């Protein structure tokens, strides 16, 4: 059985209803192995031509509408929920809900959370339909369970750049349902509370403390190294969902007022190779996806900071008030 519900019948129905002759297909990396199979089924059952995006896809902020404009009649974007953006091509979002069993890891997580009373739960798009089950299992153990209403996200949903759904929940501890470390790291940094990860894909339950400590040590080292930099690059993404040009202008002004030089760099995909030619610049501030500086830190030969980290360099924020950067659309 597939781990994800790709709603192929719905997709085929929409293509027929819209009489789309050319259909763009876009997948996050974890779903790209299904691309050929889905494209062949769509072409076979609708007569439409499928165009598969082979570029990396990082979220609903990264839809291929501008690249596919004039080429396709419709884009089917898998694995994410929509953002309040004006897409240049009609887009259908398929959440790719997970079919994996979660009961066992949630029960194990409940054991790990014993000693707490009020538990906040959060997850990503693939597991939103499982939050009611998670709530019921926790309530059976006597916990009070809370989920927050996010800004441009579903209740209980966190993104890599948007943790608004956990604000105001005032929980004693948090349960994150899903895989990976970045989302629970964000919950940890925004709340300061214990965060337990229930990962149904690997069948494991873990806390995030050791990972968070390791990340913070790396970030402290990058921030310390950047403190002596006099020439900075302020990096702006050309992706519509990540472009924060006004913020970049503000960051440039802050740096210059602090007696440092700053130039704005525009890039679609921000990578070590993209920044390598600018050898005169000693450090960078990324105004695009907050994960770039955190996830890929070790790949860059110079410090790469988020705007909130620059505030520490400039003395506007204390290290004890460290937080992740967010992009809240709308």
**Which distant-in-sequence residues (6+ apart) come within 8 Å of 192 by Cβ?**
none
**Which distant-in-sequence residues (6+ apart) come within 8 Å of 51 by Cβ?**
22, 23, 24, 25, 68, 71, 72
As a whole number of angstroms, the distance between CA 106 and CA 250 comes to: 44
Q: For residue 298, what pLDDT is reported?
A: 87
Task: Judge contact between 201 and 104, C-beta under 8 A.
Answer: no
Task: Judge contact between 207 and 194, C-beta under 8 A.
Answer: yes
Q: For residue 330, what pLDDT is reported?
A: 62
As a whole number of angstroms, the distance between CA 113 and CA 118 comes to: 10
Number of Cβ atoms within 10 Å of the Cβ of 268 = 15
Cα torsion 284, 308, 161, 111: sign:
positive
List, for the chain, all residue ranges whose pLDDT scores fall below the cut of 70: 1-2, 330
Phi–psi pair at 190, nearest 5 degrees: -80, -25
Q: How much is the pTM?
A: 0.89
The residues with which 176 forms a beta bridge, in sequence order, are 122, 197
The residues with which 205 forms a beta bridge, in sequence order, are 198
Q: For residue 1, what pLDDT is reported?
A: 47
Q: For residue 59, what pLDDT is reported?
A: 87
Q: For residue 186, what pLDDT is reported?
A: 93
Written in H, E and C, the secondary structure of the chain is CCCEECCHHHHHHHHHHHCCCEEEEECCHHHHHHHHHHHHHHHHHHCCEEEECCCCCCCHHHCCHHHHCCCCCEEEEECCCCCCCCCCCCEEEECCEECCCCHHHHHHHHHHCECECEEEEEECHHHHHHHHHHHHHHHHCCCEEECCCCCCCCCCECECCECHHHCCCCCCEEEEECCCCHHHHHHHHHHCCEEEEEECCCCEEEECHHHHHHHHHHHHHHHHHHCCCCEEEEEEECCCCCCCHHHHHHHHHHHHHCCCEEEEEEECCCCHHHHCCCCCCCEEEECCCCHHHHHCHHHCCCCEECHHHHHHHCCCCCHHHCCCCCCCCC
Tens-place pLDDT, residues 39-88: 999 999 999 999 999 998 888 999 999 999 999 999 999 999 999 999 99
Q: For residue 160, what pLDDT is reported?
A: 86
């Amino acid at each position: 059985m597939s781990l994800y519900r790709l709603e192929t019948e719905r997709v085929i129905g929409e293509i027929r209803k819209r009489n789309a002759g050319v259909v763009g297909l876009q997948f996050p990396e974890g779903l790209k192995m299904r691309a050929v199979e889905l494209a062949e089924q769509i072409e076979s059952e609708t007569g439409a031509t499928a165009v598969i995006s082979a570029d990396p896809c990082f979220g609903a902020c990264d839809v291929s509408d501008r690249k596919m404009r004039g080429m396709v009649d419709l884009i089917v974007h898998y694995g994410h929920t929509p953002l309040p953006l004006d897409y240049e091509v009609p887009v259908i979002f398929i959440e790719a809900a997970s079919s994996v069993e979660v009961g066992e890891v949630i029960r194990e997580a409940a054991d790990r959370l014993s000693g707490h009373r009020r538990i906040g739960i959060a997850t990503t798009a693939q597991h939103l339909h499982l939050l009611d089950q998670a709530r019921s299992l926790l309530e059976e153990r006597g916990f009070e369970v809370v989920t927050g209403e996010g800004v441009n996200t579903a209740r209980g949903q966190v993104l890599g750049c948007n943790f608004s759904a956990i604000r105001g929940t005032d929980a004693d501890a948090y349960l994150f349902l899903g895989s990976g470390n970045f989302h629970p790291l964000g919950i940890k940094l925004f709340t300061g509370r214990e965060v337990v990860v229930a990962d149904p894909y690997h069948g494991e339950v873990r806390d995030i403390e050791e990972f968070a400590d390791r990340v913070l040590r790396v970030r402290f080292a990058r921030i310390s190294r950047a403190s002596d930099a006099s020439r900075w690059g302020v990096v702006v993404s050309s992706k519509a969902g990540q472009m924060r040009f006004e913020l970049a202008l503000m960051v440039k002004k802050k740096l210059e007022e602090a007696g440092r030089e700053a130039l704005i760099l525009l890039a679609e995909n921000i990578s070590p190779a993209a920044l390598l030619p600018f050898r005169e610049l000693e450090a960078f501030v990324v105004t695009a996806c907050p994960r770039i500086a955190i996830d890929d830190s070790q790949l860059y030969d110079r410090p790469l900071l988020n705007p909130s980290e620059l505030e520490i360099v400039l003395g506007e924020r204390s290290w004890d008030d460290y937080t992740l950067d967010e992009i809240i659309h709308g």
